[in-house]
């Protein structure tokens, strides 16, 4: 039986990625704090894994994840209050597939979409 999915995303500089997710998005580091090429971050029930990819070109990065929430308006407002840049094409909107969503880009251009089923 499957119990969870933990996406792995590329990062170029661990300290920059950690700062963004911890200080901007409110995640906490839960594993491999002293392992220079890997990091695990968690917020509520969302767990994200990151690996060093030194040759990553952000403009060519297609890394993306979808994080479900049960209160999209609160998550969106929290991001705005924290000064997180919302993706220019990813403002909070009701989508034809029955989800209310918004999206952001992390420092390595990983697309992070947050969604709430309606």
Using CA atoms, how far apart are residues 52 and 72, in angstroms rounded to an integer? 30
Which residue, 62, 60, 82, 74, is CA-closest to 102? 74
Q: Give the pLDDT score at 45.
A: 93
Q: Give the pLDDT score at 64.
A: 96
Mean pLDDT per segment of 10 residues, for the chain of length 118 residues? 91 96 95 80 95 97 96 96 95 96 98 94
DSSP bridge pairs for 117: 99
Q: Give the pLDDT score at 22.
A: 96
Q: Give the pLDDT score at 32.
A: 59
């Amino acid at each position: 039986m499957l119990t969870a999915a933990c996406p792995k995303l590329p990062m170029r500089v661990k300290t920059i990625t950690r700062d963004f997710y911890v200080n901007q998005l409110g995640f906490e580091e839960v594993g491999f704090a002293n392992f220079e090429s890997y990091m695990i971050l968690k917020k509520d029930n969302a767990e994200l894994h990151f690996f060093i990819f030194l040759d990553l070109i952000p403009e060519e990065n297609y890394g993306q994840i979808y994080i479900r929430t049960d209160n999209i308006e609160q998550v969106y407002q929290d991001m705005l209050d924290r000064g997180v840049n919302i993706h220019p094409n990813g403002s909070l909107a009701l989508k034809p597939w029955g989800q209310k969503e918004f999206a952001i880009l992390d420092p390595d251009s990983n697309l992070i979409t947050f969604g709430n089923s309606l």
